Amino acid sequence: MKKETLFTHIGRPKAGLGTPVSTSITRASTLLFERAEDLYRKDVRGYGRHGSQVHDHLKEAFIALEGGEHCALVPSGLASCTIAIMACVEAGDHILLTDSAYGPTYSFCQTFLKKMGVETTIYDPRIGADIEALIQDNTKVILLESPGSLTFEIQDLPAICKIAKARGVTTIIDNTWSAGITLSPLALGVDISAHAATKYFGGHSDILFGAIISKNKTLGNSIDKTAKAIGLATSPDDAYQILRGFRTIMPRFSQSEASALQLATWLESRDEVAQVLHPALASHPDHAIWKRDFTGGACIFAIVLKPVSASQVLAFINALNIFGIGYSYGGFESLCIHCDPQLRRDHGDKFDGPLVRFACGLEHADDLQADIEQALRALK
């Protein structure tokens, strides 16, 4: 079954007499039991924090998306990464973190985990099988992100996962860029796939949500216990909205993906641009790995401008009319950010000019191109 069909039908109530097409929302904190002896049963939900039917249906959709065996739902994309990590480590352990990781995840590892007695080593995202030299006896997790959050390096997932499996190390990937649509990391050997469902699955920039899909139920149960111990819960209204996002994600994703590729291809020809960072372009240094492991692109990419002042970069971004200025992506609106103030890299490429990231929404690609073209005049 194609994903367009699967996502239209999965996680819906079984048709009966006048059955609603979508799962109903149940809002509850207290759940009542007819008999006192049922209160402590392990096979039923005992409290509203443990979810509802709409949560169950959403988990079913994410499991189908990634081909996993278990899904945990959390309140944000950052929580999908941090809870997955915490479920796999304890004091005295060591983790490996790609240098291209999402900034807040990087900060979590360098601050919170450090305070908890977990050591982090930052590695080159293009390290491939050479990551074996960095694995210590107490290494428990390798955190992956492909492409990189701002710099778009593609990691050799099969090579890294093969080493990790042989050494008994759990692999976790932030798979938000592809939405699980153009990359299937669990099929490539990754153990846990984390998503900021806030983005493509929310689709309208008005909800925060995260999902953690595990290759097996043993890992999934550990993640559930961690989230439960910390006291995390997700609203049934939010879960309903994310499940609704599944119904239209394929056409929305396809349009924004096509717009990003059109703009990236066009920007390669602009005199103001030194480099375009989009793995679907043949000019990208990791294009061969992308072509092997991915089935398509996504809505975001970045450009390196030829050397200009910081004030010129800001003038360019401020001159955009259709692109909004803000974080995130995957919504209906296009966005642009200046990356340099948050860019920190110990490994990988060093850029000679300012880094700017574009996220394409659902506007017409020609209008987005015209908007960038008129804004580029601000660089002069």
Digitized pLDDT (tens) for each residue of the chain, 380 residues in all: 899 999 999 988 888 888 888 888 999 999 999 999 999 998 899 999 999 999 999 999 999 999 999 999 999 999 999 999 999 999 999 999 999 999 999 999 999 999 999 999 999 999 999 999 999 999 999 999 999 989 999 999 999 999 999 999 999 999 999 999 999 999 999 999 999 999 999 999 999 999 999 999 999 999 999 999 999 999 999 999 999 999 999 999 999 999 999 999 999 999 999 999 999 999 999 999 999 999 999 999 999 999 999 999 999 999 999 999 999 999 999 999 999 998 887 886 779 899 999 999 999 999 999 999 999 999 88
CATH, domain range 249-379: 3.90.1150.10
Q: Which residues contact 35 (CB under 8 A, 6 or more apart)?
A: none
Residue 77, pLDDT score: 97
Residue 95, pLDDT score: 98
Q: Which residues contact 364 (CB under 8 A, 6 or more apart)?
A: none
Residue 350, pLDDT score: 79
Residue 4, pLDDT score: 93
Residue 59 annotated in active site:
no
Domain with CATH 3.90.1150.10 in the chain: 249-379
pLDDT digits (tens, 9 = 90+) for 149-204: 899 999 999 999 999 999 999 999 999 999 999 999 999 999 999 999 999 999 99
Residue 357 annotated in active site:
no
Residue 344, pLDDT score: 82
In b/e form, how buried is each residue of 343-373, taking b as 16+ CB within 10 angstroms? eebeebbebebbbbbbbbbebebeebbebbe
Residue 15, pLDDT score: 86
Catalytic, out of 199, 215, 244, 357:
199
Residue 237 annotated in active site:
no
Catalytic, out of 3, 49, 291, 306:
49
Residue 174 annotated in active site:
yes
Catalytic, out of 99, 124, 156, 174:
174
Catalytic, out of 99, 102, 224, 238:
102
CATH, domain range 3-244: 3.40.640.10
| Residue 43: CB atoms within 10 Å | 5
Q: Which residues contact 5 (CB under 8 A, 6 or more apart)?
A: none
Domain with CATH 3.40.640.10 in the chain: 3-244
Determine the 3-state secondary structure of 303 from DSSP: strand
Distance (Å, rounded) from C-alpha 244 to C-alpha 19? 17
